[in-house]
Chains A and B, each alone.
Chain A
Amino acid sequence: MSARALSRLAAAFGLLLLTGCNKNLVVVIPDTADGHVGAVVVESNGSKAVLDTAYAAATPGSGTLKPATSDAKEVKDIFGTALTAQPVAPSIYTLYFINDSEELTPESKPAFEKIFTDIQQRKAPEIVVTGHTDTVGDPAYNDRLSMDRAKAVSKLFIARGFPEASISVAGRGQRELLVQTAANKSEARNRRVEITVR
């Protein structure tokens, strides 16, 4: 056997050692929107690994999990098609209304129009209208209030011709304060409606 053939065989064997016949792979990647790196807990063969850095990887199925690292190129080579098929990420717009009326504040009018531009750029667009309250009143009351507001705002989109079947409403009450306040505190910035376009 020639030296060249030997070296080829060695390279092939090296690759085999690295990957085995195992195609299983998990890689944490930076968030495509903001670069944030999250975490995934992998359990396999009674062992457990927490992947919480960019391109931290695991190859489950080959005995005890060992720490591994992938990179952007490998991820693109293996997962390129899956990543290209990712939907456009949902966008969230915050709207405020004058004195609890259904009239948008002057600052919110451009945001409202921007939503329609966004909708046109998506395939099969959906809208979720989510109401939020401040901490005045009890939490159960605020759940209903935020839902009522969301329903009222959803009518603005129906009136502009957006199909009702693609609109859903939710009321988060006082669970997701934009500005943290004490209980029973009137705060205009918390009385808002968020529009998710996805």
Chain B
Amino acid sequence: MRGIISKNTLYGLALLCALMPYTARAADPIGQVKTADGPVTVERGGASQPVAVGDHVFQSDVVVTAAGGSVGITFIDNSMMSLGPDSRLVLDNFKFDTTTHEGEFDSSLQKGTLAVKSGQIVKQTPEAMKIKTPAALLGVRGTEFVVRADEKK
């Protein structure tokens, strides 16, 4: 073997890339803030920053509203989530293939109120969207519902 990376590895990587041409990468935005009112912040990489309409959201973001705050997000599969005041939502895992519409959307409502309208991920694969709360696990078959989570369970 001449190099550290063999020819076969390179072929394998090339094939892998060819097989998933349009799948969102971890650094790609997964949604965009469409409404924001009052105190709304996002926690990303250990820092907390205020949120405004037009901002993008990413996997692993934590969206937080304080008293009097609310925010609405449209995701790239057309699903929508909006938070009422005193709420905390973690966008744990988001995968979406725009060609096949296959994907996964896992989030956690740690406290507060959330309105959800599912999108193309659920249309393609019912229950591929899951929402955890301290007390329950929700599997979404579509399309619209509301959930309130008590921090204490």
Chain B nearest CB from A36 CB (Å) reads: 6
Of chain B, the residue at the smallest CB distance from A47 is B136
Is A24 within 8 A of B146, CB to CB?
Answer: no
Instruction: List, in ascending order, chain B residues with CB within 8 A of A123's CB.
Output: 34-35, 53-54
On whether A78 and B127 interact (CB within 8 A), knowing A43-B139, A85-B72, A170-B98, the answer reads no
Pick from A9-17, A26-34, A94-102, A108-116 the stretch touching chain B.
Answer: A26-34
From the candidates A60, A80, A89, name the one contacting B136 in the complex (CB within 8 A). A60
Is A86 within 8 A of B117, CB to CB?
Answer: yes
Interface residues on B, range: 35 or more
Instruction: List, in ascending order, chain A residues with CB within 8 A of B139's CB.
Output: 40-41, 43
Is A26 within 8 A of B34, CB to CB?
Answer: no
Chain A nearest CB from B39 CB (Å) reads: 13
Of chain B, the residue at the smallest CB distance from A143 is B99
On whether A22 and B150 interact (CB within 8 A), knowing A41-B139, A86-B117, A90-B74, the answer reads yes
Residue interface mask A131-156, B partner, CB < 8 A = 1: 00000000000010001000000000
Query: Is the C-beta of A83 less than 8 angstroms from some C-beta in chain B?
Result: yes
Query: Is the C-beta of A183 less than 8 angstroms from some C-beta in chain B?
Result: no
- Chain A residues 52 to 102 lying within 8 A of chain B, measured CB to CB, are 52, 58, 60-61, 75, 78-90
Secondary structure dominating the interface of B: strand
Instruction: List, in ascending order, chain A residues with CB within 8 A of B35's CB.
Output: 85-87, 123
Interface residues on A, range: 35 or more
From the candidates B80, B84, B135, B142, name the one contacting A44 in the complex (CB within 8 A). B135
Query: Is the C-beta of A104 less than 8 angstroms from some C-beta in chain B?
Result: no
Is A61 within 8 A of B82, CB to CB?
Answer: no
Is A38 within 8 A of B149, CB to CB?
Answer: no
A171 to B143, CA, bound (A): 24
Chain A nearest CB from B72 CB (Å) reads: 4
Instruction: List, in ascending order, chain B residues with CB within 8 A of A86's CB.
Output: 35, 72, 80, 82, 115, 117
Is A81 within 8 A of B148, CB to CB?
Answer: no
Is A82 within 8 A of B34, CB to CB?
Answer: no
Instruction: List, in ascending order, chain A residues with CB within 8 A of B71's CB.
Output: 85
Is A82 within 8 A of B82, CB to CB?
Answer: yes
A-B contact list, 13 entries, CB within 8 Å: A24-B148, A24-B150, A26-B148, A27-B146, A32-B144, A38-B118, A60-B136, A78-B146, A85-B83, A86-B117, A87-B72, A124-B32, A198-B74
16 more A-B residue pairs beyond the given contacts A75-B146, A175-B99, with a C-beta to C-beta distance below 8 A: A24-B134, A29-B145, A29-B146, A31-B117, A32-B144, A38-B143, A43-B136, A44-B135, A79-B113, A86-B35, A87-B80, A123-B34, A123-B54, A124-B32, A168-B98, A196-B78
